[in-house]
A and B are shown apart, each in its own frame.
Chain A
Amino acid sequence: MNDDESTCAEVVELVSDYLDGNLPAPEAERVADHLSGCPGCTAYFEQVRATTAGLGRVTTEDLPTDVRTNLLEAFRVSRKSEE
């Protein structure tokens, strides 16, 4: 808890933009000040940061093999027809 003007309820709505560096300088500074004095918002901010890190590790399923085979075949055919 500190005596800056932002409440925690306001800061949690800014952390995503803060994380991406999308806040105008004065606002970013206000968030940084708040975070430095507020363990609760710091914990929340770290959780959002960890969430984006986790999202970055999500792997995606591959294209079904038969679709891939068809595509390569289509590529061969289309390129041949242009020669």
Chain B
Amino acid sequence: MPLTILIFVPLLGAAAVLLQSDERTIWNSAFIFSLIPLALGLYLFAGFHPNQAGYQFVEQYQWIPQFGISYHVGMDGISLLLVLLTTILITLSLLYSGGGDIEMRPREFCFLMLFLESGLLGTFLALDLFLFYVFWEAMLVPMYFLIGIWGHGRKIYATFKFVLFTMLGSLLMLVAIIYLARAARSSLGYLTFDLADLYKVTLSSTEGRWLFAGFAIAFAVKVPLWPVHTWLPDAHTEAPTAGSVILAGVMLKAGAYGFIRFAIPLFPSVAVEAIPIFMALAVIGIIYGALVAMVQPDLKRLVAYSSVSHLGFVILGVFAFDHQGVEGAVYQMLNHGLSTGALFLLVGMLYLRRHTREIAEFGGLWSSVPVYAGVFMVVMLSSIGLPGLNGFVGEFLILLGAYLSLKVAVYFAVSGLILSALYMMWAYERVMWGPLTKTINATIADLSRREIAVMVPLLALMFFMGLYPRPLLNRMEPSVDALLARVHNAQAQMQRERILAASTFAPGSSIGSWLSFTPRDTSE
């Protein structure tokens, strides 16, 4: 029962908020309703058995039996951490937004935020592909309203782009899902959308490639991977602060999560074949995102492009198919959620005071708002991966894992790391240091108590995750191993077939063996 409560309490809260009319009550009740899933998430974290493989707190009920569709939810180490990230960021976003960032239509805003939380939690917990798709699409709607109603500037353009990109990807995934269920009927004898059953489906290699493509496009748009990232800068920049925080902090993770939970384990052999493609796209994303971020005059756009770069690391780690690499990727998902979420909050706070995000408008803020500048410093260092803070752990693990399987990619990716230090510090320098050129900047207020309350938990988590990653890595370990076992099985199978083919026919050189793309077997 806990997972169902977790998913639907925010929805209940959303309904409750709609009935309120007093602005203060709306913010308070929304905040309280967001605390319940947070508390429940912590409770689940405590009750989670770290060494147990497979899903925990599983619930399954019939939903549409004609199609073999059930309400099937469960939690493993990876979804546990993403659920925690979601609940933390939603709570903090609501806390922040109540402090003056959102003045127009607070009731609708809180309704949509809580609705969004339901969708996100459902996405991370669904174990039935139909159910997953329902949550996956349902979370699109509140985000679309959040950007469109409370956004800035070219918000309408941004919403359209966001919706059309993501819809196109997910509808193709829907076709793939239905096709897969149909294949399940011919290979298992019954129609099912259940993930565990679909793992057992055997497909021809052509079918597998097309279906993997259907899933991968949907997830790649969400991640976003270069070259389908173009919706991201617009959506992130025009969204209200809380929208950007959730979009970057949680929603992008849904894309990477989709790869880990669905696309790769459902089609492991295709995923192995696709390693070069994804590594290349990830590396391009890392460098491209960093280079474009460097030349942004707008602070928020800079953070948005840095997301493209950071998520490239996540994909690099996932497709390393190495214990360290995948763990690092999941860890990096959490890091990015915290640090980019925090960055968007900080940029939002600045915007609230000055109504501009142009870097050129600032300079010398260190002397007028020291607390703000200090917090910004920590967050920035976390984002660029300073040892001792969270970002370092994830990036180090990813590079370690990827280095063992694909050295070339790592050489390029490391340059992305250097670039990220460069653009972040450069931006920091221009905003915080130097002389106070604009007199108006001398008069802006430092962080309010509410804003400090928003930032402190984030900073604490950054230090905690940087210094003591063990409890989190522990919990995701069995899930990561299960994923890798599937991939390595498929790899071994392909190896056997290749040897068989080579012994009967003339020795051919596939691209994979030629470039030695084959990941190291870590089953020692």
> Real complex partners, A and B?
no
**Residues of chain A whose beta carbon lies under 8 Å from any beta carbon of chain B:** none
